[in-house]
Every structure is written in C-alpha cells, then in structure tokens.
C-alpha cells in the first residue's frame, strides 16, 4: 500500500546505495543503526528501493513510500517524495503510481469527457472552445457582445482569459448572470447548450464561498488557475458537492514546475495525470503549434494521461494557442477525437468576423470527423473557404 515515485537521478556508480539512503531519509531516517525490535516496529513505514536502471546521463530509480507515512492528499505525498529531493540539481520526479487503495481516495473528474458530452448533447465530434479577446479593461457590454457572436457561431464552450480577475467593469457575479442570460436564450432558440467557465480567483480561503455563489447564480463551469494555488485546491473544489460544476484547469505557471528539461516534474504529471486525479474536467495547456508552445512529445504525453481508460473519468485535453481551422485535421490526428479545439485569434482573426470564424471551425471539425478534406469541405462552406484562403491548411502527414 502506497505510492511509487519514479525518479531520474544524475547517473552515479553507487546509485543503488544513494537511492537506499533517500528511501530511508525520506521515511524512517535510518535503519542499520537502530535496534532489531524498533526495526520491526518501523518496517511498515520504511521506504523501499524497487529498482535502479542505469542510464547514460540519468539513472531511473523507483522508490515505494508506504501509505502509513502520509495522508491521502497531494501536499503530503509530494512533500514526502520530493520535498527535499527538489533541492538536488537534476533530480527529476517523472512519475507517481498510486495503488488502488490510495487511488480510491482521490476523486477524478466529476463529469469528465462522458459527462460533459452528455451535458452538451455532443457525442460524436471534438468540442469547439473559444477564448475571449481583450475583455480586460472593457465593460460588460463588450463581454456580452463577444459572447453573443461566439455562441451564434456555434461554439460549445468559452472561458474567461486567465488574467481576468475580479474588477469593477466586469465583476465576477455580473459576468455569470450576463452569460447565463445569453446562453439560456441561445438554448431556447437552438437547443444547443454552451458552457461558460468564469475565472474563479482571489484568496485561497474564499474560493469555496465564491464557487458556491457562482453555482447559485447559474454559472455552468469554472476556470481555475490551479498551479497558482496548488493541485489540492482544485481537488477540494471538485469534492464540494455544493459547487458541482465542470472544472476547467488552466496550466498558467505550470512552466515553473515542468518547463525545464532535466528538472522538476514533467507536464504529463502536473498538467496531465495529477490534474485528472484531483478532478479537472478539462486541462488546458499550450499547444505544440503556437508561439506559446510546449513540445509535441510533451503535449501527447499529457493527452495520454488525461484520456487513457483507467482509473477515472477521462479529462478533456485542450491544447491551446496557434490554432486555426486549417489545423483541425492535424489536431485530431495528434490528439484523437476526444479533444477540445480551442481558438482565440483563429476565430477573431477571421476576415468576416467571429461568427464566421467560429462557423469555419465547426465546418472544419465536421469535415475532419467524416474524413472529408478541408479543401473539399470549403467548396460548400464559405466561412471555411475564407479561413483557408488566409491561413491555409496543415498537412496531417507532417
């Protein structure tokens, strides 16, 4: 019972002995110099080196930490397995494997891919998500106008910019009620549900009250800068049944944790596995295509941990930035069908405005799902044609 931490340590001829020292130092402290009777008492707490695989620059070390040593929360687990080791240069924590008993104490997504698809009534295609453009410093009418256009264009989901915090021009509660009115009207007219994720921000100890208030006011999703607060804060929001809303986890600041090759945690752990473990329904991360980007390998590794079958509901991968309609086939090839196509500039930069911009994306998505080329689809879809004229298409063979 416990957790297995997989590390990469700078290669060393005595790696086995070094690993044993860490396994003791991070659990019972010492071993050989304590009496046999005490050893018996401490055996259930003792860390154990499971394997040491030698590599060229780094050795792969796996250490088991018993559940007896920590409570079932990430602050305790991460402090145990990496609190001290994080100070050692080049010592990476590359994976955490929880046993079933420990896993059962984490929630996973409340809705996940399946639940969100049911809410939206969209079973068979990637979702389309939009990003507001330049709401900071603008007023509610600006916000409302953008939202009207985007839902008219056929988006499924929209979120606040992650840098839009509580402010006088577009207060949190007003954004919720304004959006609700627009989204409800849209649903009555079209039967099409749209989620709006309002940015839940402020002091850590006020998050729950604010989120519950948001739910009461009719918010239907929450955006959360999880790495500005810690993964456990997201988990507590997931576990609060008075909130009960889809949670859109934003990866802002995760580059501090995962952005440096050869140190810290990989994105697949922070933005992937652990974000799903604690209950993110959506995980946003920089796409490998834009100017704010991570590597394709990192993006695919995130996607894998979010969508592999077990042990929780799947989390929607939301690769963001640099996405235009001509890239949709590439996105689907890279990430599969269970993703969210997320666009800002690719919608607002459309020559005929954001409604057509969103329509172009929907057409690209529909065509791609059916295996129709965008060039062919564009012949009968003017918005898509105009988008491709500007941005071109991206070959899926690349």
Q: Of 7-15, 36-44, 119-127, 325-333, which part binds a second copy (CB under 8 A)?
A: 36-44
Please report, as residue ranges, which positions from 203 to 222 form the binding site for a second copy (by CB under 8 A): 203-205, 208
Q: Are 222 and 198 in contact (CB under 8 A)?
A: yes
132 vs 300: CA distance, rounded Å: 26
In the list 184, 232, 313, 382, the residue contacting a second copy (rule: CB under 8 A) is 232
In the list 73, 148, 184, 382, the residue contacting a second copy (rule: CB under 8 A) is 73
Burial of residue 380 (number of CB atoms within 10 Å: 0-12, 13-18, 19+) = exposed
Q: Is 45 in the site for a second copy (CB under 8 A)?
A: yes
* Cβ nearer to a second copy, comparing 157 with 257: 257
Parallel, antiparallel, or unpaired for β 2-10 and 58-66?
A: antiparallel
Q: Of 20-28, 94-102, 304-312, 323-331, which part binds a second copy (CB under 8 A)?
A: 20-28
Q: Is 104 in the site for a second copy (CB under 8 A)?
A: no
Q: Is 351 in the site for a second copy (CB under 8 A)?
A: no
Listing from the earlier edge strand, what are the strands of the sheet with 2-10?
48-53, 58-66, 2-10, 92-98
In the list 146, 170, 201, 314, the residue contacting a second copy (rule: CB under 8 A) is 201
In the list 11, 173, 177, 293, the residue contacting a second copy (rule: CB under 8 A) is 293
Q: Is 54 in the site for a second copy (CB under 8 A)?
A: no
184 vs 297: CA distance, rounded Å: 40
Q: Is 202 in the site for a second copy (CB under 8 A)?
A: yes
Q: Where are the beta strands (DSSP E) in 241-287?
A: 247-249, 282-286
311-to-76, 308, 358 alpha-carbon distances in Å: 21, 8, 34
Parallel, antiparallel, or unpaired for β 316-320 and 282-286?
A: parallel
Instruction: Identify the CA nearest to 67 among candidates 39, 37, 97, 95.
Output: 97
φ, ψ for residue 383, nearest 5 deg: -60, -40
In the list 256, 296, 308, 336, the residue contacting a second copy (rule: CB under 8 A) is 256
| Closest distance to a second copy from the beta carbon of 190 (Å) | 30
**Positions in the binding site for a second copy (CB under 8 A):** 26-30, 34, 41-42, 44-45, 68-71, 73-76, 78-80, 82-89, 133-134, 136-138, 162-163, 165-167, 201-205, 208, 225, 228-230, 232-233, 235-236, 240, 252-257, 259-261, 263-265, 286, 292-294
């Amino acid at each position: 019972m416990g957790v297995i931490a997989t590390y990469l340590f700078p290669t060393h001829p005595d790696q086995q002995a070094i690993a044993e020292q860490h396994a003791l130092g991070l659990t019972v402290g010492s071993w050989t110099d304590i009496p046999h009777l005490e050893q018996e008492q401490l055996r259930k707490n003792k860390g154990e080196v499971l394997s040491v695989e030698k590599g060229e620059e780094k050795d792969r070390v796996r250490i088991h930490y018993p559940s007896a040593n920590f409570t079932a929360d990430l602050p305790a687990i991460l402090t145990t397995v990496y609190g001290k080791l994080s100070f050692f240069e080049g010592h990476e924590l590359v994976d955490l494997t929880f046993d079933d008993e420990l896993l059962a104490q984490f929630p996973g997504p409340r809705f996940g891919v399946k639940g969100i698809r049911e809410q939206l009534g969209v079973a068979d295609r990637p979702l389309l998500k939009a990003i507001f453009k330049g709401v900071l410093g603008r007023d509610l009418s600006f916000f409302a106008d953008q939202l009207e256009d985007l839902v008219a264009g056929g988006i499924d989901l929209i979120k606040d910019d992650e840098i839009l915090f509580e402010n006088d021009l577009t207060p949190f509660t007003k954004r919720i009620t304004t959006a609700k009115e627009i989204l409800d009207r849209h649903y009555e007219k079209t039967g099409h549900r749209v989620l709006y994720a309002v940015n839940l921000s402020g002091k850590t100890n006020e998050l729950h009250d604010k989120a519950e208030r948001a739910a009461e006011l009719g918010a239907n999703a929450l955006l959360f800068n999880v790495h500005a607060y810690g993964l456990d804060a997201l988990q507590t929001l997931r576990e609060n049944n008075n909130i009960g809303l889809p949670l859109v986890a934003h990866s802002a600041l995760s580059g501090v944790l995962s952005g440096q090759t050869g140190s810290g945690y990989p994105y697949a752990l922070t933005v992937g596995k652990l974000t799903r473990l604690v209950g993110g329904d959506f995980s946003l991360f920089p796409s490998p295509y834009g100017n704010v980007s991570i590597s394709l390998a990192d993006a695919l590794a995130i996607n894998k941990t979010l969508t592999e079958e077990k042990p929780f509901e799947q989390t929607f991968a939301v690769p963001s930035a640099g996405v235009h309609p001509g890239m949709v086939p590439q996105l689907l090839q890279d990430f599969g069908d269970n993703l969210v196509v997320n666009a800002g500039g690719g919608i607002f930069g459309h020559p005929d405005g954001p409604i057509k911009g969103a329509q172009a994306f929907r057409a690209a998505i529909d065509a791609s799902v059916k295996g129709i080329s965008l060039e062919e689809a564009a012949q009968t879809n003017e918005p898509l044609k105009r988008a491709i004229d500007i941005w071109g298409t991206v070959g899926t063979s690349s």
